[in-house]
Structure 1
Amino acid sequence: MTTFPAQGPASEPPPARPGRKLGPIAASVGTLHRAWLEPTRERYLSSGQTLSDLSFHVLLAKSKLSELLRGIGHYPRWEVIHRLAAVLDIPSWPLYRLWRQAALDAGKSRDWVDRSTEGTTAVATARSGPPMEHGALRLTVEEGYLAYAGAFLTGDARDAAVEDAFAILWLSFDEALASPDIRRYAWDLLRTTVKARADYRDERPVLGEAAFDTVTLRQESSAEGQAAQLAESLELFTAISRLPDTQLDVMVLRHMCGYPPEKVSDLLGVPLATVLSAERHACRFLADTIEPPATEGPTP
């Protein structure tokens, strides 16, 4: 099992700021926008600075900064976010990637994105490199992340979801190190980014596309056998999508990606006993939910 550096003592909370308290993120803010806004807000709240301090350096009115940090009003231009990142010492590459993804998701054109980054693109896209621990974690989990994301997404969408998860992890790495288990923290980010891009049916993520590349199907040699197995798999995947998050993750990793329980434990950042328990409960639910295949009786 991969180990990571021991976490230091929790830092003291910053002193209370003068003036009005920053309001919450607006409920209308989309998932991709929230992906970079939440860690940016956290960095501001832990910095000890006030909106007046930021206003002086970012060259934006306090009211506009408050709106920006709540996700209210027009989607911000990169030149403003770039100045904010410099003041708060936020790494620009992952922030730019997430900002750009959210801009396109918000309906901004690529031309608008390009014009918004004039004069700052070179700095934004210069990769200074994530923390060493970030790179070590990525080496150990990226293959599993791609396999899990592939159960819900295909092609570029799969790769983008995983890349976004690592970008968010980079932005919030201090919080990740302070969490009980960095692997669990990172997995929660991955699940969120994957589910944000997945198709949904009855408010549950759709797993049907992954039926064409499961371990079971790869073991079927005949077209007839694959067709029968596909029908059963689609029913199974529909039932799996109704499971609670941890049970769903375990079943996808175990039975669609083919990972042993120990590897699933490492990926999720939970004890092996939790994986085995989640699998047992999931299997019981599926056994009660899925009707057994009909068998042909004797000819009358």
Structure 2
Amino acid sequence: MSSALRASRPWLDPLRTAYLASGLTMNDLSGRVRFAKSKISELLRGVGLYPRWEIVYRLADELGMPNWPLYRLWSQAALETHRSSDWINGCTDRTTVTATHTTPPLDHGAFRELVESDYALYAQVFLDDDQRDNAVSDTFDRLWLSWNEALAHHDTRRYAWNILRTTVMARTPHRDGRPELGNAAFDTVALQNLTDPAHYANELDETVELFTAISRLPDRQLDVIVLRRLCGFTHESASALLGTSLATIRSDERHATRFLDSVIPPPRTEGTAP
């Protein structure tokens, strides 16, 4: 997947979903928005040059999508694909981003208020402050674009968590296909409380080893361990955040702990040969 397509996914995927759900043919859409069918097809397939806002705006308007979160996701992706602020502003000066859709649904706003700080704690384990904030903001914009689908899902919390996870992991450095948690090692309480350089080095080595092992866990177990061990969530609060049963949380934690214990040797005591 190209870097441009990867950056566009947060706004392109909801646009594709809305198009498929609309029942419109490509000919229908072309006639309504007055853009060539080939141009629309190219945009929806994520190929060619990064699209100007005008065509994205017209498609979204025709498909009944809120344009304000879409615009924010489009402009963020434009920056990530090395488009300049001048280019972005030039695309939008002649196209009105109306104020009629700037306020999300009330229940979306209530949900955001409920979980936003917890989402930030999770994202902080993988990302620096700026990337964390962008990932959380993008998550709620993406959720706004698919809010009706989220409400129709059997558990809105689980639906929203999947969007957060996808957004965070898209920004997280990976090694051998698994997310890196190295930056979080420097923020652990154990390391912050150490003043002796030798103890700090030993604790750091052990922490990095633990985080490497955590990164190898299956996705669901990784999330549970991150929330429980690194963010300090109770079983109950992790269950509520993930939209997963309490029994599943405890089962995932048991399996994850068993794996971590199997791959991380116990600490050596003084006088024990290496």
TM-score scaled by length of structure 1: 0.85
What residue is the counterpart of 1:49 in the other structure? Answer: 24
Please say if residues 214 and 257 of structure 1, whose CA atoms lie closer than 8 Å, have aligned partners that are also in contact.
Answer: no
d(CA) in 2 for partners of 1:271, 1:146: 22
1:267 aligns with 2:251: no
Picking from 157, 161, 170, the partner of 1:183 is: 157
Q: Which amino acid aligns with 2:5?
A: G
Q: CA deviation at 1:110?
A: 2.2
Picking from 112, 118, 121, the partner of 2:93 is: 118
Please say if residues 8 and 77 of structure 2, whose CA atoms lie closer than 8 Å, have aligned partners that are also in contact.
Answer: yes
Change beyond 3 A, Cα 1:73–1:30: closer
Moved more, 144-153 or 85-94: 85-94
Gaps spanning 5+ residues in structure 1: where? 1-26
* Structure 1 stretches of 4+ moved >3 Å: 215-218, 220-228
Q: CA deviation at 1:90?
A: 0.8
Secondary structure at 1:63 match in 2:
helix
More helix, by proportion = 2
Q: Deviations over 1:215-270 (max 9, x none)?
A: 4445x354354443322111100100010111111111111111111111111110
Moved more, 157-166 or 35-44: 35-44
d(CA) in 2 for partners of 1:133, 1:215: 36
State the identity as a percent: 56
Secondary structure at 2:154 match in 1:
coil
d(CA) in 2 for partners of 1:110, 1:287: 49
d(CA) in 1 for partners of 2:230, 2:142: 26
Gaps spanning 5+ residues in structure 2: where? none
Secondary structure at 2:186 match in 1:
helix
What residue is the counterpart of 2:122 in the other structure? Answer: 148
1:30 aligns with 2:5: yes
Q: Which amino acid aligns with 2:86?
A: D
Moved more, 49-58 or 59-68: 49-58
d(CA) in 2 for partners of 1:47, 1:97: 23
Q: CA RMSD in A?
A: 1.9
Q: Which amino acid aligns with 2:53?
A: W
Instruction: State the aligned residue count.
Output: 271
What residue is the counterpart of 1:279 in the other structure? Answer: 253
Please say if residues 215 and 258 of structure 1, whose CA atoms lie closer than 8 Å, have aligned partners that are also in contact.
Answer: no
Please say if residues 215 and 255 of structure 1, whose CA atoms lie closer than 8 Å, have aligned partners that are also in contact.
Answer: no
Q: CA deviation at 1:122?
A: 4.6
d(CA) in 1 for partners of 2:263, 2:133: 33
What residue is the counterpart of 2:53 in the other structure? Answer: 78
Secondary structure at 1:180 match in 2:
coil
Picking from 240, 247, 250, the partner of 2:224 is: 250
d(CA) in 1 for partners of 2:272, 2:166: 51
d(CA) in 2 for partners of 1:269, 1:173: 16
d(CA) in 1 for partners of 2:124, 2:100: 29
TM-score scaled by length of structure 2: 0.92
Please say if residues 33 and 99 of structure 1, whose CA atoms lie closer than 8 Å, have aligned partners that are also in contact.
Answer: yes
1:174 aligns with 2:156: no
1:131 aligns with 2:105: yes
Picking from 209, 220, 223, the partner of 2:196 is: 223
What residue is the counterpart of 1:240 in the other structure? Answer: 214
Q: Which amino acid aligns with 1:65?
A: I
d(CA) in 2 for partners of 1:57, 1:100: 24
d(CA) in 2 for partners of 1:65, 1:151: 38
Q: Which amino acid aligns with 1:241?
A: S
Please say if residues 94 and 170 of structure 1, whose CA atoms lie closer than 8 Å, have aligned partners that are also in contact.
Answer: yes
Q: CA deviation at 1:81?
A: 0.8
Q: Deviations over 1:162-184 (max 9, x none)?
A: 10111110111121112121111
Q: Which amino acid aligns with 1:239?
A: A
Please say if residues 174 and 180 of structure 2, whose CA atoms lie closer than 8 Å, have aligned partners that are also in contact.
Answer: yes
Change beyond 3 A, Cα 1:80–1:283: same
Secondary structure at 1:213 match in 2:
coil
Aligned ranges 1:184-223 → 2 under 5 Å: 184-218=158-192, 220=193, 222-223=195-196
Aligned ranges 1:57-72 → 2 under 5 Å: 57-72=32-47
